[in-house]
Homo-oligomer: A and B are copies of this chain.
Amino acid sequence: MADYKSIIAYDGTDFQGFQRQKAGVRTVQSVLEDGLRAVGWEERSLQAAGRTDAGVHAKGQVIAYELPWKHSAVKLTQALNANLPADVSVVSSESVEADFHPRFSAKSRRYRYTLIVAPVRDPLRARYSWRIWPRPNIEAMQTAAGLLIGEHDFAAFGTAPIPGGQTLRTVTRADWKRTKDELCFEIEANAFLYHMVRRLVGALIEVGTGRKAIEEVSVFLDRPSVRWEGSLAPAQGLCLEAVDYSGSNKDLEDRSPGL
């Protein structure tokens, strides 16, 4: 029996989110647990770094589990992939210490939100992005994003995972990047509140379209008693890119094998 960690990728479109629900509801966790059972897993529940919402994608979700596996970690990845549907896959696996926990051991998480700035729909990118038009003011959005950096109480922009739980989070990166008509928001923090990235993207777009002033974002930071009025950015633009365990997890930085 050993403890393993696997990096998981999925297309969230056809899942009712990550977390297992009642029988018959298709979630990433239930599909992964079925795959694990097929290779001899006998625990009741796997551990995961984060619970993504329905429709949210992942390139770097992390799970941990105990398994009586006698072969290499590479063979474990292959065996699991043979027992998973096309919209979820194991990127890599490795054995870890018994005290490793994908959520509690994580030092930071990185999410990416993808927008397409275009007057018409693009069927080839709609599955993984949110289209907006007309063009927003990206400089204003970047200035507002800069206000998020540091330790703040993000209660106005999300909900603690535990009722009444801590809503202080430390954002270490919040950047807009554009390439042609694509506009990506990359945000990294020690941890996130529920809906925090989608609500922040919604807020920054309101700043970019002039419906809200830049200053309003800072007014709502560190005011736990009020809620930012505004809609969530749609789920399909969001992707959990990576979870960092500082040193124990170097492969998350560049998992591309290159050529």
Asked whether B121 lies within 8 Å of A257 as measured between CB atoms, the reply is: no
Return the contact of A9 from the options B124, B135, B138, B259 (Cβ within 8 A). B124
Q: Which of A115-136 contact B (CB under 8 A)?
A: 117-124, 126-128, 135
Which of the candidate stretches A46-54, A80-88, A162-170, A218-226 sits at the interface with the other chain?
A: A80-88
Tallying the copies of this chain within the complex gives 2
Q: Does A10 contact B (CB under 8 A)?
A: yes
Return the contact of A128 from the options B91, B117, B124 (Cβ within 8 A). B124
Return the contact of A91 from the options B89, B120, B239 (Cβ within 8 A). B120
Asked whether B87 lies within 8 Å of A123 as measured between CB atoms, the reply is: yes
Distance in Å from the Cβ of A11 to the closest Cβ of chain B?
4
Asked whether B77 lies within 8 Å of A123 as measured between CB atoms, the reply is: no
Which of the candidate stretches A35-43, A146-154, A176-184, A191-199 sits at the interface with the other chain?
A: A176-184
* Residues of B with C-beta under 8 A to A126: 11, 86
Asked whether A259 lies within 8 Å of B123 as measured between CB atoms, the reply is: no
What are 12 sample pairs from A and B whose C-beta atoms fall under 8 A apart? A9-B122, A9-B123, A57-B124, A88-B123, A89-B121, A89-B122, A91-B120, A118-B256, A135-B259, A178-B259, A180-B258, A181-B256
Chain A contact residues, CB within 8 Å of chain B: 9-11, 57, 59, 77-78, 81, 86-92, 117-124, 126-128, 135, 138, 178, 180-181, 183, 239, 256-259
